[in-house]
Chains A and B, each alone.
Chain A
Amino acid sequence: MIVKFKLNGKEIVKDVPVYKRALDFLRDDLGILSVKEGCGEGECGACTILVDGKNVHSCLMLAVELDGKEVITVEGLEDKIIQNAYVEAGAIQCGFCTPGFIISTKALLEQNKNPSSEEIKEALEGNLCRCTGYLKIEDAVKLAAKMYNKGSDER
């Protein structure tokens, strides 16, 4: 089936088998390597992408469901504010889960400019990490919020 959608700002038109998962389509056919398979069952969040502004698990989605949607992955975040916040906060260990966390952070900060610890916990509930212990990830989200807010003050 032909799917037509916007990936990181670029129009994509591609033929894709109906059984193919969005995760495999993005990784194998479109070279989007930030999207990772941690479990393949919607439990870990390593495959999180933004679809029309919502963070979703691409392992539970079929490629054909992307039709007509606007998809953003880490490769397509225009500014590197969230990434830099994660680096700065030291919120990274192996990094395998991190693109998923960054996407969920993006989805959160789009909705909520100043999330509390509770709100961060809730927003990141669908993302697991086995390395970091989560504390620095929370710091990173707060730091990213601060960096965004500072940016908009200056503007």
Chain B
Amino acid sequence: MKEVTRKIPKKDALGLLLGKPVYTDDLAPKNSLIVKLLRSPHAFAKIKNIDISEASKIEGVECILTYKDVPRNPITRAGQGYPEPSPHDWYILDEYVRYVGDEVAIVAGKDEKCVNEALKKIKVEYEIFEPVLDFEKAEGHPSIIHPEKETHPMFEIGFDAQKNIAASYEMEIGSVEEELKKCDVVISERFYTQAQAHVAFEPHTAASYIDMHGRLIIISSTQVPFHVRRIIAEAFDIPIKNIRVIKPRIGGGFGGKQAVHGEPFVAAVTLKTGKPAKIVYTRQEVFEATYSRHPMRYDITLGASKDGKLKVIDMKGLSDTGAYGEHALTTFMVAGSKTLPLYNKVDAVRFSGKVVYTNKVPAGAYRGYGAIQGNFALESAIDMLAEKLGMDPIEFRKKNMIREGETSPIFKIMGEGREGVDMIVRSCKLNECVEEGMKLINWKEKFPRKKISETKYRGVGMAIAMQGSGIANIDMGAAVLKLNDDGSFNLLIGATDLGTGSDTILAQIAAEVLNVPTEDIIVYSSDTDLTPFDVGAYASSTTYVSGNAVKRAAEKMRKLIIKEGALKLGLDESNVDFDGKYIYEKNGSKKVSLKELATVLLYTENQKQLIADASYVGEESPPPFMAGFAEVEVDIETGKVKLINYIAVVDCGVTINPNLARIQVEGGLVQGIGMALFEDVKYSPNGKLLTNNLMHYKIPSRADIGNIIVKFVESYEPTGPFGAKSVAEIGIDTPPAAIANAIYNAVGVRIKTLPITPEKVLMSLNNK
């Protein structure tokens, strides 16, 4: 392979570094009205009266919109396959406000100053209700967060608004109760994960204007431009054909931009005034009023025979979706569907639970998408079970974990919001990942602990994980290739590069098929007018789903080139081949260069534009796998945990671009480490998020993460483009459990609530 597996730099790399106008705020029309939102100071209230008269008088203020001024169509902001598995429970503006930060009014004006002033002058009278702040008390709470009758699910998702239930789910294979009776060793434990914040560096930003044809144009830092187009059309009752959504470069997403956020507000202003408008969220707004990770609680029961065979897994969960049910069911199901198949040889398995509404920051998609929550619980519990059995945790895993060529009934039963698809795991080098990781961390030598000093102990711990590659039978990506007169190609894709480098990877795939340098593939992506459809960047789908579409389009293009080349050479197609430069006679000397063929096709002979397109929907979602190993040093005086080493060994199939794959894993690991150790979420008693800036919400800096080693164990996924699977999410999954396990091995305390702060460690040490 020439282009695939090349470590070429990202196509946009240098452009990003020179300060060119590339992000939404850089590209918003210069005369845009500045849009800001009045947000609710109450966790749950009804607007009794709203008076904008004073505010409207302020010089420079162009318009102020309240719930009375915008259409009231129930939608979901979640950008997912349509119809969405998220309930339609959100309104552009509503008379109810359901969390501190919920939108009350839209203000637009000529500059920040006047808009800020106007925000202060809007008078709102609220009828305040008792908020639901504890998700363990949400079900059946006297306060009903969505009493309105318009809110509804799109299909059966176990939705029950009267009980504050956004979704529920249950499945069982075999009989958990019966099989547990046959187990020699059983453990039952409860785990909690927190509402991690994405902290994509570019805050959510959107701009809009009306073009010369009267169409609404939206520029947005979004992961899902085509979903944005559909959702905005639905929210405002305007035809899809009258909307164009453009995603320029974006400053990170991690799931936080897999939804509409600022788009409806700028659209409302532009539709009302006819003028361009833009909104740039402040960091505080991003924290308080976009998305977080769904906090979850899991009660896990595991049963095994004394020879170390895992026989039963029972996971009962409760997930907190905050004020709106975005990605509620799907993140919950993924906590099971992307963990349970790891142990595919059990006799009985059950996964059940509910996703409840609370009056807190809405939860949404976030890298890992439930899998990290489930993984923390399951992989912590597995260590606890192994200990009870008196077995080495790695030996226990090796005995029970999934292997290449095997399957799991979970694949068919649990999809995302509905049934999944049956599949054999055709590529799985999990065993090699574990072996390699053991060597790299020097497990035999270091397990379980070493005393460093009177107060410091080092321990090692590990966890295994899996993710998926797109959502089978739901997610579609399409690609178009167009030949230019110099023999270069335009690659048009709906796929959305979030900074990950997917534009580059997709170009590499096209280049590989066509046998041309990647530099000759000019990529344009994510523009609903100009590129074909793609569901967008989520669920680890781009390399696999969009990549397969690009590969097919390139194969079609190759055939077209051979066909037209043969015609030009006066030969039969079967006697002709194409090597990337020339279309040539197989057993002869006739040839024509691609450049010459391309030029005559456009200008002189047999004139036509060569163009090829393809779409792809995954029939399977091959999981990438990994093993993560942590070495920590715990100070028993302070409870402080220092991460010394983190080893990640990953099987993501063939790495199309090893550099980009590696940096994806590294970035994922550090977010996972942040979730494990630092990223604490705190609310005030009346429901205001206190950890709403980077001073109080600590994401890891370079100094926090110790030494990280990422290694790839290559497998070949036959359904993937050139053997590739996904890599975007898998890196985040293992750190919470691996670090918790390492801490236990170091000092014997088991922390079951994330993040693992020094206070928790110290308290557990004192209670030991």
On A, residues with C-beta under 8 Å from B are: 32-41, 43-44, 46, 73-75, 83-84, 86-88, 90-99, 102, 120-122, 124-125, 128-138
Contact = CB atoms under 8 A, between A and B. Distances in A.
Range of interface residues on B (Cβ < 8 Å) = 35 or more
A130 B665 CA distance: 12
**6 shortest A-B CB distances, which residue pairs?**
A94-B499, A34-B19, A133-B666, A95-B16, A96-B251, A43-B694
Contacts of B217: none
Given A87-B13, A128-B694, A133-B669, A33 B19 contact: yes
B440 to A, nearest CB: 15
B9 A88 contact: yes
A44 B201 contact: yes
B26 A130 contact: no
A37 B201 CA distance: 9
Nearest to B707: A135
A37 B251 CA distance: 11
Contacts of A37: 203, 280
Contact of A86 (B13, B200, B693): B13
A134 B201 contact: no
Given A43-B694, A93-B500, A97-B201, A87 B17 contact: yes
Contacts of B7: 90
B10 interface: yes
B19 A73 contact: yes
A146 to B, nearest CB: 17
Interface of B: 7, 9-10, 12-14, 16-23, 26, 198-203, 249-252, 254, 280, 282-283, 498-501, 659-660, 662-663, 665-671, 693-695, 699, 701-703, 705, 708
A88 B667 CA distance: 18
A125 B703 contact: yes
B19 A133 contact: no
9 contacts: A35-B19, A36-B23, A93-B499, A131-B667, A132-B667, A133-B667, A133-B669, A136-B666, A137-B702
Nearest to A136: B663
Contact of B699 (A32, A96, A121, A128): A128
B17 to A, nearest CB: 4
Contacts of B201: 36, 38, 44, 46, 94, 96-97, 128-131
B694 A33 contact: no
Contact of A138 (B14, B699, B702): B702
Given A95-B249, A95-B251, A129-B201, A90 B699 contact: no
Nearest to A84: B14
A84 B14 CA distance: 7
Contact of B18 (A34, A129, A134): A34
A20 B288 CA distance: 25
B252 A131 contact: yes
Contacts of A129: 201
Given A87-B17, A93-B499, A94-B250, A124 B702 contact: yes
A134 to B, nearest CB: 4
B19 A125 contact: no
B283 A121 contact: no
Given A33-B19, A34-B18, A41-B695, A130 B199 contact: yes
Contact of B670 (A34, A90, A134, A138): A134
A100 to B, nearest CB: 10
Contacts of B665: 133
Contacts of B660: 90
Contacts of A124: 702
A133 B283 contact: no
Contacts of A93: 252, 499-501, 663, 667
Contacts of A43: 693-695
Q: Which of B13, B14, B660 has most A Cβ within 10 Å? A: B13
